Amino acid sequence: MIAALTLALAAASPVQDRPAAPPPPGQQPPAGAEPIPLMIAEPVAMAIAAFDTDRDGIVSRAEFDAGVVHSFDTIAKGQSSIGYIQFGDWADRWLGNRNALPSPFEVDRDGDNRITLTELQARFDLFFTRFDRDNDGAIQRSELLTIRATARPGEEGPNRRERPRR
């Protein structure tokens, strides 16, 4: 009985179209095939996405500014500046890795080995300008993605580095 119901259900289900599978390793794709795009989110883009407090997929300038202040305050805990080790803690929490960019050297504009909220805000202002591609004063989730073309197997491309020969 259960087997008959399972077969009837399977027969009634529409067949879904599946995307074409990539060619097996070592086999070339058809001539003229487009390179396979690679979509990534930079660590700073993930932090910016976390600033979207109303969860509408858009980071307004107000959400962005408040997010930078909140992220700094979570580590500074009332201090006016943080050291490089604390910045590593900030990067680990908000960027996902202590070594993710921006680096403390990049943010510490006056070179005093301390990072102030003003310095962090100045660096993040540059990120806002960079990610707000349509200049509408807000960052759409899609603007946080970086799309890179990858070369087809066996071809040189913009993201392929020649491996050193031994």
pLDDT per residue over 132-152, tens digit each?
999 999 999 999 999 887 755
Q: What is the pLDDT of residue 38?
A: 86
In the chain, which ranges are E strands?
37-41, 58-60, 81-83, 114-116, 138-140, 145-149
Residue 31 CA, distance from chain mean position: 32
- On whether residue 29 sits in a domain, the answer given is no
pLDDT at 36: 74
DSSP bridge pairs for 88: none
- Cα atoms found within 13 Å of the Cα of residue 61, Cβ hemisphere only: 7
| pLDDT the model gives residue 37 | 79
On whether residue 118 sits in a domain, the answer given is yes
Instruction: Kindly state whether residue 66 falls inside one of the protein's structural domains.
Output: yes
Cα–Cα distance, 166 to 161 (Å, whole number): 15
Amino acid 25: pLDDT: 63
pTM of full prediction above 0.85: no
Among 12, 9, 36, 10, which Cα is nearest to 22's?
Answer: 36
The range of the structural domain enclosing residue 116 comes to 44-149
Domain count, the chain: 1
Q: What's the pLDDT at 86? A: 98
3-state secondary structure of 144: helix
State residue 16's pLDDT score. Answer: 55
List the chain residues with pLDDT less than 50.
160, 163, 166
Distance, CA of 18 to CA of 20 (rounded, Å): 6
Would you say residue 37 lies in a domain? no
CATH number of the domain within which 68 lies: 1.10.238.10
